[in-house]
Amino acid sequence: MTATASEAAEAAEAVPAAAHFRFFEFEVLRTRRLGHSFLRVTFGGESLKDFRSGGFDQSLSLFLPPEGQEHTVLPSTDEDSWFGAWRGMPDEERPVMRSYTVREQRRAAEGADADELDIDFVLHGDTSPASRWAGRAVTGRRIMAIGPAVAENKSVRFQPPATADAIWMYADETALPAAAAILERLPDGTAVRAWFEVPHEDDRLALSAPAGAEITWIVSEGDGREQVLSALRSDESSASAAEAPYVWLAGEAGTVRATRRHFVQERSVDRRSVRFTGYWRLGASEEQLLAEAYAGKAPSEDPTSDL
């Protein structure tokens, strides 16, 4: 196991946090259906030359235009005033802010027009603004985003220590793009045990991973928490013999908490070696979650948290 991600985190400490991120304008170049639930949108744009993805589970914030508008319009992109200006917009005009993961960034080859950036969306009809926008995305549409201006930034959560002897992962469909990006960046020889929960059989995507990676697909409908826990408890894989695993968990908040308890309480994994992120919460809209975050009520992702 290399210490690449940990070293990146240490390097990030030397860069002021405010300098980690800036506004970018993305233009839709093309879309491609990956499975029943997944659509890949490939973006370009002149500003991508300054985009510095740190890889792994690099996150960014997208500002999607409200229904009826083709492109994102923000009243300010100044780092000191944009938030208040955005929050102060009328509801019907305010772009919807959503967090997503960079699936891949490709630097332009010599002679090519521009860099490219892939983001994978989960489609579920018009039940959410992001799904509705992605399902209607066409070449030329432009959106705004806040993303990394330095590769060693605070939004790469996957930070395994050099002492880890295996990577254990759980992700649902919302976190699968991040998990896939992590897997393809792991060095050869990394021991991997992963459980991926998806809603449909043909959402079981072909993934690039280190040789010998052991992946279990859990096809569930609705709240699959008990199916996930059952799969974890029946695990007899060779990777389960690891003495110092690093555990990365992401998806629906309640399921993430339950899987974290499983690893810490039932498998005696040091809680400091478990990185967990609730990408969404059953029964709550993202607007509710954003409001909680603004009010400082969001659950802690600190590895020492009792959550």
CA 279, 283, 289, 295 dihedral sign is negative
Nearest to 76 by CA among 68, 64, 84, 67: 84
Query: Do 39 and 142 reside in the same domain of the chain?
Result: yes
Q: How confident is the model at residue 13 (pLDDT cuts 50, 70, 90)?
A: very low
Domain co-membership, 195 together with 238: yes
H or E segment to which residue 275 belongs: strand 274-280
Indicate whether 84 and 206 sit together in one domain: no
Q: Which residue has the higher pLDDT, 187 or 221?
A: 187
18 and 141 both lie in a single domain = yes
> Do residues 119 and 197 share a domain?
no
160 domain residue, yes or no: no
Q: Is 157 part of a structural domain of the chain? A: no
- The whole-number pLDDT of residue 110 equals 63
**% pLDDT > 90, the chain:** 74
138 and 181, same domain (yes or no)? no
pLDDT tier at 107, thresholds 50, 70, 90? confident
The mean-pLDDT minimum among 148-162, 213-227, 255-269 falls in 213-227
Looking at residue 192, the DSSP 8-state letter turns out to be: E
Identify the domain containing residue 23 by its residue range.
4-148
Average pLDDT, the chain: 87
Asked, for residue 103, whether it belongs to a domain, the answer is: yes
- Report yes or no: 49 and 114 within 8 Å, Cβ to Cβ: yes
Shared domain for 11 and 127, answered yes or no, is yes
Do 181 and 70 lie in one domain? The reply is: no
Residues 12, 45 share a domain: yes
* DSSP element (H, E) containing 261: helix 253-261
Mean pLDDT of 177-201: 96
Inform me whether the pLDDT recorded for 153 exceeds 60.
yes
- Give domain status of residue 29, yes or no: yes
Domain count of the chain?
A: 2
Same domain? For 20 and 127 the reply is yes
Within a domain: 106:
yes
Say yes or no: 197 and 125 in one domain. no
pLDDT at residue 101 tops 90: yes
| Whole-number Cα distances in Å, 106 to 49, 54, 90, 185, 227 | 10, 12, 36, 14, 37
Same domain for 8 and 68, yes or no, is yes
* pLDDT band (50, 70, 90) for residue 237: confident
Q: CATH code at 195?
A: 3.40.50.80
Assess if residue 302 is contained within a domain.
no
Residue 289 forms part of a structural domain: yes
pLDDT in tens, 280-290: 876 555 666 56
